[in-house]
Amino acid sequence: MTPPRKAPPSRLGRGLSALIPDAPAADPANGTALRTLPVEALEPGPFQPRGGMDKASLDDLAASIRENGILQPILARPKPGTPGAYQIIGGERRWRAAQAAQLHEVPVVVREFGDREAMAAGLVENLQRQDLNAMEEAEGYRRLLDEFGLTQDGLGQSVGKSRSHVANTLRLLTLPPEVRNLVANGVLSAGHARTLVTAADPAALAAQIVARGLNVRQAEALAAAQGKPKAGAKDRARRDPDIAALERDLTERLGLRVALKPQGKGGEVVIHYRDFDQLDGLVRLLSGG
Instruction: Report how far apart, in Å, the C-alpha atoms of 248 and of each of 113, 160, 197, 238, 244 are.
Output: 40, 23, 11, 16, 6
Other beta carbons less than 10 A from residue 178's beta carbon: 11
φ, ψ for residue 128 (rounded to 5)?
-75, -25
Other beta carbons less than 10 A from residue 188's beta carbon: 24
Let me know how long the chain is. Answer: 289
Instruction: Report how far apart, in Å, the C-alpha atoms of 10 and of each of 102, 123, 148, 168 are.
Output: 26, 14, 21, 27
CB 167 within 8 A of CB 252: yes
Q: Which residues of 4-36 are buried (b: 16+ CB within 10 A; e: fewer)?
A: eeeeeebebeebbebbbeebeebeeeeebebbe
CB 136 within 8 A of CB 51: yes
Sign of CA dihedral 1, 72, 111, 11: positive
Judge whether 43 counts as a catalytic residue. Answer: no
CB 41 within 8 A of CB 22: no
Residue (of 3, 98, 92) closest to 52 by Cα position: 92
Q: Which of the following is catalytic: 40, 43, 67, 92?
A: 92
CB 60 within 8 A of CB 66: no
Other beta carbons less than 10 A from residue 180's beta carbon: 21
Query: Which residues belong to the active site?
Result: 92
